[in-house]
Chains A and B, each alone.
Chain A
Amino acid sequence: MLVLAGTIPLQGIPLLAGQGVLTSEGLVIHDMATGVGHVLDQNRGTAAMMTTVAVVCQKYGLRPPMCVVAGDIGKRDGSSQVYAYLTEHLGELCPEVMTFHYIMPDIRRNNLLIKAIKQLKRKPLLIADAGSMYVAKAGGHSPYYDIFTPDMGELAFLADEKADHPAYTRGFIWHMNEEVHELVQRAHHWKNAANILFVKGSTDYICRSGKILKSIGEPSIPELEAIGGTGDTITGMLTALAYRGTDLVDACLIAARANREAGRLARPTPATQVNKIIEHIPHALQISENLLMEPVVERAGILPESLEKVMIH
């Protein structure tokens, strides 16, 4: 099962745990207990990620994701419910892939969740973005995760062994903006990185074990950085691709290229909302997969030849 977890920015929305189904109105999550369906606003955070996952699952004929969400506007109430539900019900869910998203960092509750994951018969693939990535780092669990998807600001945070939250990143590290390799190495050195890092930015970097494997800068759509949710669509795509069984580095490469292609197709301005990008994801994925399967693929020259053979089919 593919399990997605996070919060939605509405006060009073109860804990919802059910399949995320695409409808003409958007992504609907049906609460298993009451059967009531809630439509999520796909332009915001976790809903953008979950909608993207559902779109990709539909494209490839995969089972829709199991979504666990609760309303939280920053008061921790919904986040606490999500942590508690997952910790209690993990055994029943039997997750193969789990993606954690917007949540109020809570080291104690996340420690309990990690403990529950460790009790599963088989460790699921773990992907963390946003607050879930912050708490994974603050709690010292980063290497237990398979993929983190930081942007450049968040990479600086991962590289700062003293910071518990991106807001505490020390100035001299934040200023190392252009020194991606150094930041990736630092994060890995201090055990504050997942095995794979997908660093989102004007150039995307796919990294493993502290090394940059590949950089993707084309097509270049600078406006995407301003659009809230364009990082969430990357996390969503690579989650669904990982669930499909795609090699994780390939999944990152496909997601990186597809996000840029979706941006190109949407012809955005910095004022565009992310739903306009999501509309183009199925087509963009097709373009991206075709490009990566072609024998002549743009090489950045960073990757050792032996690894490239493994990565590019």
Chain B
Amino acid sequence: MKKFLSKIIDMKNHSDPQHSRGLLIFSNTSEVIKAEGILKTAGYQIRVMSPPPQYRTGCDLAIDFPLVEQLGVMRCLSEEKIVPLDVLPLSEERLEPLQLCRVTDFGDYLMIKAANMKITIHKLSRKIVNISGGGCPDVPYLATEMIGKSIYDAPNPRNLGYSLCAYSLNVAYEEALRIMEEQLC
């Protein structure tokens, strides 16, 4: 009976999706955003999410990855000179950044919102005409770098930003790109 029960517990642990996953902790959000891009390009099944409380500053991200692939993940990152601060087993449910968008049509312009960020595009010229919302210091910086440029030529917030606001702006920016490409088809 004891043996049977321990087998059930073992099976339960293996069916738990968190059981075999780990968290990569980085020193800042910018590194996470870069690491996410590198690992996704390399084909790893990863997700960005909130770090555990002991690593919280109020604006941070971590990467959830399959523990079994730790070696490959670490090698992939070190080739790009990115070294995580820590690697932890995923012990509890963590929050994921919001990926949802809302679109407002102003006629000649389209505004796309993601979390607390908004990007507005002139439909005909595809120019970014405004960026609003957010609260981290890279938002006004990104606005300076992106406003006035075509959505195709503007720097990607993923490459230029450092914060979770930049992450959300990137969600809105990618949705804007998707809508514009859809309109071209």
With known contacts A74-B161, A106-B57, A134-B59, A45–B139 Cβ distance under 8 A: yes
Verify if A78 is at the interface (C-beta below 8 Å from B): yes
Compute how far the CA of A44 lies from the CA of B138 in the bound complex, rounded to whole angstroms: 11
- Return A132 CB to nearest CB of chain B, in Å: 7
Verify if A8 is at the interface (C-beta below 8 Å from B): yes
Compute how far the CA of A47 lies from the CA of B102 in the bound complex, rounded to whole angstroms: 28
Name the segment of B37-45, B78-86, B128-136 touching the other chain.
B128-136
Query: Which B residues touch A44, using CB under 8 A?
Result: 140, 143-144
- Return B133 CB to nearest CB of chain A, in Å: 6
With known contacts A74-B137, A134-B58, A138-B58, A167–B116 Cβ distance under 8 A: yes
Flag if B50 contacts A164 (CB, 8 Å).
yes
Write the chain B residue with the least CB distance to A103: B137
Compute how far the CA of A162 lies from the CA of B130 in the bound complex, rounded to whole angstroms: 30
Q: Among B95, B115, B137, point to the contact of A9 (Cβ < 8 A).
A: B137
Verify if A99 is at the interface (C-beta below 8 Å from B): no
Query: Which B residues touch A89, using CB under 8 A?
Result: none
With known contacts A7-B137, A226-B118, A171–B113 Cβ distance under 8 A: no
Q: Among A102, A134, A230, point to the contact of B140 (Cβ < 8 A).
A: A102
Interface residues of B in 22-65 (CB under 8 A from A): 28, 30, 50, 56-60
Write the chain B residue with the least CB distance to A226: B120
Flag if A226 contacts B135 (CB, 8 Å).
no
Query: Which B residues touch A154, using CB under 8 A?
Result: 116, 133, 135
Number of interface residues of A (CB under 8 A): 64
Query: Which B residues touch A106, using CB under 8 A?
Result: 57-58
Compute how far the CA of A273 lies from the CA of B50 in the bound complex, rounded to whole angstroms: 34
Interface residues on B, range: 35 or more
Flag if A270 contacts B111 (CB, 8 Å).
yes
Flag if B168 contacts A166 (CB, 8 Å).
yes
Verify if B165 is at the interface (C-beta below 8 Å from A): yes
Compute how far the CA of A142 lies from the CA of B34 in the bound complex, rounded to whole angstroms: 32
Query: Which B residues touch A174, using CB under 8 A?
Result: 98, 100, 115
Query: Which B residues touch A170, using CB under 8 A?
Result: 95, 98
Write the chain A residue with the least CB distance to B122: A271
Flag if B106 contacts A222 (CB, 8 Å).
yes
Which of B57, B104, B135, B141 has most chain A Cβ within 10 Å? B135
Return the CB mask of B81-115 against A: 1 if under 8 Å, else 0.
00000000000000111101010101011010101
Which of B96, B98, B147 has most chain A Cβ within 10 Å? B98
What residues make up the interface of B, taking CB atoms closer than 8 Å to A? Answer: 28, 30, 50, 56-60, 95-98, 100, 102, 104, 106, 108-109, 111, 113, 115-118, 120, 122, 129-141, 143-144, 147, 161-168
Since A74-B138, A227-B132 are in contact, a sample of 12 more A-B pairs with Cβ atoms closer than 8 Å, ordered by chain A residue number, is: A9-B139, A75-B162, A107-B58, A130-B134, A131-B137, A157-B116, A165-B58, A165-B164, A174-B100, A177-B102, A270-B120, A270-B130
What residues make up the interface of A, taking CB atoms closer than 8 Å to B? Answer: 7-10, 41, 44-47, 72-76, 78-79, 102-108, 110, 129-135, 138-139, 151, 153-154, 157, 162-171, 174-175, 177, 222-223, 225-231, 269-273
Would you list the 9 A-B pairs with minimal beta carbon distance, nearest first? A74-B138, A105-B58, A74-B162, A130-B135, A9-B141, A271-B129, A166-B116, A131-B135, A228-B132
